[in-house]
Amino acid sequence: MRRKVIQELVKNLKLIEHIRALVYQFLRKREKLFELKREMRAYGEKKKILAYPLSRKDGKKGSMMLW
């Protein structure tokens, strides 16, 4: 009985560790994405590239996005 409970606890602990590793992996990828966006924005500002919708000559908003 006690051994069964301990086995369940160990199994649950391994699952929790696995989920935690996945969450950290996700957060690292997300942080890399934000870092890449910051780099792109800085590059765009340096090269005078607009990173928001461009307005057209006739006054209407354009839907073109550079990124």
Q: What is the DSSP letter of 63?
A: -
Provide the pLDDT for residue 56.
Answer: 56
Extended beta strands in 1-67, E state: none
Sole residue written with tokens 């354009």: 62
Q: Extract the tokens encoding 35.
A: 């870092």
The answer, as to whether pTM is greater than 0.85, is no
The domain locations on the chain are 1-50
Provide the pLDDT for residue 66.
Answer: 47
Provide the pLDDT for residue 50.
Answer: 55
Q: Extract the tokens encoding 21.
A: 């590793």
pLDDT tens across 49-67, in order? 555 555 555 555 555 544 4
Taking residues 2-22, report their average pLDDT.
Answer: 95
